[in-house]
């Protein structure tokens, strides 16, 4: 039988057998990729409409980034921060300039960037704002997704992310996302920061109400509180601007960055802020052996230089309009809601038709890879190198799935 000749079934079985079940992946086993396309172990091609949750904004194996990685692999990969290497200053300087900030603190994963932001905000609160010792608090939003460390899940409202991982870390106040009055009421004399995603990705690409982010900025300025923007998924070109905050002209005190910063090659994250914020750290108070390593810096600098041209931001904005038009054309034909910002879409399927998981499985069968989130919602986040014809193809396959 043909099934006996395929490599996918056994590879899926082995993955299930030998790994902890902390993910529920689609049963596709990828062997190679280029641009916006993946090829599985049996030679079948798929259009990637997830892009590694935005880690692959520049597509698979972007030539400039692969070249930077190869050149660095031939010279130096790790020193630790005990020494300075020749890629470090360029990466930090150019990323700081892209963010419009004084300083950058490189780390590895998005969760590490969030943890770093929390630590810096607390230290700033005690040293600069002079909040009561041991009483610093941070205001966050419900529906948030900032990572899965024990501290971060302590302020998650997602039962799957939070349940059975207590005792939970104190020091966080959760308010409804988009409710400016609730946020303002939650700020007290010991509040050191407001930590928000400008767009909630894991929640289903939930956009804030118009005027919300400027209102948060004003509240933080008026109450001497840091505004920390988690742009790990939304930043670096995904939404048609360099940062999602740019859509409303908002400049946070601190950017948390990751995913696309590593070019889909290595894990790279960073915190960017001015010297009066990041300057509170002193040697020995925070660090990472691999944070800012030479390979990460070489690739990260390549990413920053791609963004500095503005090409990818423009592509995301223009192609995002095409994606929006295609998806909105399916409203009433199986879709009940669509939320789009650049090349990032949350698509709510009529739950009477199918779940989000079922929709993604059926899209996979038609050669398109996407990811479900809560209930009947799926997320579309193709690489920014996708073409208009490929967007039309993805929308057509979704239409076919909805039509049954």
Tokens of 203: 């929640």
Give me the catalytic one of 48, 230, 253, 348: 230
| 37-40, strands of its sheet edge to edge | 30-34, 37-40, 45-48, 368-369
Instruction: Answer for the pair 11, 25: CB distance below 8 angstroms, yes or no.
Output: no
Query: At a CB cut-off of 8 Å and minimum separation 6, what does 18 contact?
Result: none
DSSP state of 343: S
d(CA 152, CA 96): 25
Q: Is 392 a catalytic residue?
A: no
In 67-87, which positions are buried (b, 16+ CB within 10 angstroms) versus exposed (e)?
Answer: ebbeebeeeebebebeeebeb
Give me the catalytic one of 123, 129, 259, 371: 259
> Using alpha carbons only, what angle is made at residue 139 by residues 135 and 145, rounded to the nearest 5 degrees?
125
Q: Is 224 buried (19+), middle (13-18) or exposed (0-12) by CB count in 10 A?
A: middle
Would you give the end-to-end CA distance of the chain in angstroms? Answer: 28
Give me the catalytic one of 58, 88, 145, 227: 145
Q: Is 145 a catalytic residue?
A: yes
Q: Is 259 a catalytic residue?
A: yes
Instruction: Answer for the pair 304, 145: CB distance below 8 angstroms, yes or no.
Output: no
Instruction: Answer for the pair 345, 13: CB distance below 8 angstroms, yes or no.
Output: no
Instruction: Answer for the pair 263, 299: CB distance below 8 angstroms, yes or no.
Output: yes
Which stretches of 274-365 are DSSP H helices?
Answer: 275-278, 294-308, 311-328, 356-365
Instruction: Answer for the pair 76, 282: CB distance below 8 angstroms, yes or no.
Output: no
Please list the active-site residues. Answer: 145, 230, 259
């Amino acid at each position: 039988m043909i099934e006996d000749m395929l490599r996918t079934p056994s590879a899926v079985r082995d993955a299930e057998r030998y790994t902890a079940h902390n993910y529920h992946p689609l049963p596709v086993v990828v062997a190679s990729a280029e641009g916006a396309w993946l090829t599985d172990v049996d030679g079948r091609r798929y259009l990637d409409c997830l892009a590694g949750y935005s880690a692959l904004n520049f597509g698979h194996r972007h030539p400039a980034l692969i070249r930077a990685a190869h050149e660095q692999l031939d010279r130096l990969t790790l020193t630790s921060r005990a020494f300075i290497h020749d890629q470090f200053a360029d990466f930090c300087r150019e990323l700081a300039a892209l963010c419009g900030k004084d300083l950058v603190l490189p780390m590895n994963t998005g969760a590490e960037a969030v943890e770093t932001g929390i630590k810096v905000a607390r230290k700033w609160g005690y040293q600069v704002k002079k909040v009561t010792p041991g009483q610093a608090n941070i205001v966050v939003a419900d529906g948030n997704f900032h990572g899965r460390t024990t501290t971060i899940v302590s302020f998650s409202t997602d039962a799957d992310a939070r349940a059975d991982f207590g005792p939970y870390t104190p020091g966080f106040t959760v308010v409804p996302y988009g409710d400016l009055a609730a946020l303002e009421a939650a700020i007290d004399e010991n509040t050191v920061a407001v930590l928000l995603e400008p767009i909630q990705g894991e929640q289903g690409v939930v956009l804030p109400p118009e005027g919300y982010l400027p209102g948060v900025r004003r509240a933080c300025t008026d109450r001497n509180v840091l505004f920390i923007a988690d742009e790990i998924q939304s930043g670096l070109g995904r939404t048609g601007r360099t940062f999602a905050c740019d859509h409303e002209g908002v400049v946070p005190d601190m950017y948390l960055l990751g995913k696309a910063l590593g070019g889909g090659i290595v894990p790279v994250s960073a915190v960017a802020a001015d010297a009066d914020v990041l300057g509170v750290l002193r040697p020995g108070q925070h660090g990472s052996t691999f944070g800012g390593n030479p390979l990460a810096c070489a690739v990260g600098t390549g990413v920053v230089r791609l963004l500095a041209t503005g090409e990818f931001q423009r592509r995301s904005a223009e192609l995002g309009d095409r994606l929006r038009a295609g998806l909105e054309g399916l409203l009433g034909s199986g879709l009940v809601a669509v939320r789009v910002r650049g090349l990032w879409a949350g698509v709510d399927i009529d739950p009477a038709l199918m779940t989000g998981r079922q929709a993604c499985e059926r899209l996979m069968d038609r050669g398109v890879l996407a990811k479900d989130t809560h209930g009947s919602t799926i997320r579309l986040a193709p690489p920014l190198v996708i073409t208009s014809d490929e967007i039309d193809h993805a929308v057509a396959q979704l239409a076919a799935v909805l039509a049954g």
